[in-house]
Amino acid sequence: MSLFDPGLNLSAYYPGTLPPEWPGGYWIHWGVFVVIILAFVLLMAMGFIWLERREVGRFQARLGPNRVGPFGVLQPVADAIKVLTKEDIIPAKGDKLVYWLAPVVAFVPVLMVFAVVPFQDGALLADLNIGILYVVAISSVSVVGVFMAGWSSNNKYSLLGAMRAVSQLVSYEIPLGLSILGVVVLAGSLSLNSIVEAQHIPFILLQPLGFLIYMAAAAAEINRTPFDLLEADSEIVAGFHTEYSGMKFALFYLVEYCEVLAVSVIVTTLFLAGWKGPLLPPLLWFLIKVFGVFTVIVWVRATVPRLRVDQVMAFAWKCLLPLALINLLITGIQVLVWPEVLPWAVVFLNLAIMVVLILLWSKFFKLGGGRVEV
């Protein structure tokens, strides 16, 4: 296959989206999108860092960074320069190779998630027919990097953070996957592009419970409040990256925001109809929705305290998992029995089911206590 051989001509698949003179060659397409994704992820992560600090500032009755550049937009740049000039410390008794490798292992999978995300119709690196499965599989590799960091630091706080990381991230994979299955059942496809195309009305309306479960489980996956146990600064200092400094720390910091970006993008794609929307260009709609989801995540972070480690686990296994199973069952029945029913009737039915289930669970499922006799 020559370099310019139209092995994969996406502009033929998606006429009207990609420009007609779009180079058909597989490798050119690959190269162009790798550049686009890298630029998108790094720029958005920097934008998110700035936006989060400004928004949290607003939530906390203060201004947030406003010195570097207009409205402090260059603050992430200043931070990056600062972090790059820091001394890079490796603990003397740490496992040096693992310590060095950990940030890379944590960072690469997050970047790989964006390969299957459609920025608009057909504008994606690879339209995998198992796209969402790929996302779930790849993003769970990050936990290995986190555990490597905690293990190799030779620090007790880091080890506690790593222990929490493994138990929490592995547990929340299950409700996360099950809540996605509801969407997959509705769309009838695992490809992210087809899932967006299948959303004549956004799936958040048809899958309100699935959306909430996904948001909760994703918040746990990306260590956001109230599940930010891995780096609970008031308990275990900074968790798994306590010992990291300089560029390695910056990579972990970047991973955190790239993960938030990944979750925002996946939520937008699965539940908020991706690039679809009236009037505005599709890419703009996509970005608006991503920023909207991100704002909700920041809002939660600025509002609630943190759960304890056993409560986090109980929440995954006793609350999210049964609810996700029930949600999947109901969705399956609805798709089987009323494939032709007006969507609006199902919207209200599902909303009612969600309210009833959540009220029922909040009545019987109580967190609290937890003392162990020693």
Partner 1 sequence: MVIKTEPFVVNIGPAHPSTHGVFRMRATLDGEVVLDIEPVFGYLHRGIEKLAEERTYTQIIPLTDRLDYLASMSNNLAYVLAVEKLAGIAVPERAEYLRVIMAELQRIASHLIGVGAFLNDCGAFMTPILYMIREREKILDLFEMVCGQRLTYNYMRIGGVSHDIPEEFLPALKKFVDSMPGFIDEYDQLLKENEILLARSKGVGILSREQAINISASGPVLRASGVKWDIRKVDPYSIYDRFGFEVPTGSAGDCYDRYRVRVEEMRQSVRILKQAVEKLPAGEVRSEVSHLVRPPAGEAYGHIEAPRGELGFYLVSDNSIAPYRFHVRAPSLLNLTALREMVVGWKVADVLAIFGSIDICMGEADR
Nearer to partner 1, 19 or 369 (CB): 369
Interface with partner 1 (CB under 8 A), residue from 308, 326, 347, 358: 308
Residue owning tokens 């990097």: 145
Residues 83-102 that bind partner 1 (CB under 8 A): none
Interface with partner 1 (CB under 8 A), residue from 16, 70, 278, 305: 305
> Residue 371, interface with partner 1 (CB under 8 A)?
yes
Residue 224: left if φ>0, alpha if ψ -120 to 50, beta else—which one? beta
> Residue 364, interface with partner 1 (CB under 8 A)?
no
Question: Cβ of residue 358: shortest distance to partner 1, in angstroms?
Answer: 12
> Residue 232, interface with partner 1 (CB under 8 A)?
yes
The whole-angstrom separation of Cα 263 and Cα 258 is: 9
The whole-angstrom separation of Cα 145 and Cα 102 is: 5
Residues 260-279 that bind partner 1 (CB under 8 A): none
Query: What is the DSSP track for 266-335?
Result: HHHHHHS-TT--SSS-HHHHHHHHHHHHHHHHHHHHHH--PPPHHHHHHIIIIIIHHHHHHHHHHHHHHH
> Is 270 in contact with 180 (CB distance < 8 Å)?
yes
The whole-angstrom separation of Cα 72 and Cα 85 is: 21
Interface with partner 1 (CB under 8 A), residue from 307, 320, 324, 354: 307
Stretch of 72-80, 195-203, 206-214, 360-368 contacting partner 1, by CB under 8 A? 360-368
Q: Binding string to partner 1 for residues 319 to 338, with x set by CB under 8 A, is what?
A: --------------------
Question: Cβ of residue 150: shortest distance to partner 1, in angstroms?
Answer: 14
> Is 50 in contact with 73 (CB distance < 8 Å)?
yes
Nearer to partner 1, 21 or 373 (CB): 373
Contact residues for 371 (Cβ-Cβ < 8 A; gap 6+): none
Stretch of 181-189, 206-214, 228-236, 287-295 contacting partner 1, by CB under 8 A? 228-236
Question: Cβ of residue 159: shortest distance to partner 1, in angstroms?
Answer: 9
> Residue 56, interface with partner 1 (CB under 8 A)?
yes
Residue 95: left if φ>0, alpha if ψ -120 to 50, beta else—which one? beta
The whole-angstrom separation of Cα 119 and Cα 117 is: 6
For helices 246-271 and 142-152, the axis angle rounded to 10 degrees is: 160
> Residue 235, interface with partner 1 (CB under 8 A)?
yes
How many amino acids of this chain bind partner 1 (CB under 8 A)? Answer: 41
Question: Cβ of residue 347: shortest distance to partner 1, in angstroms?
Answer: 27
Question: For the chain, how many residues are written?
Answer: 374
Task: List contacts with partner 1 (CB under 8 A).
Answer: 56, 59-62, 156-157, 160, 163-164, 225-226, 228-229, 232-237, 301-311, 362, 366-374
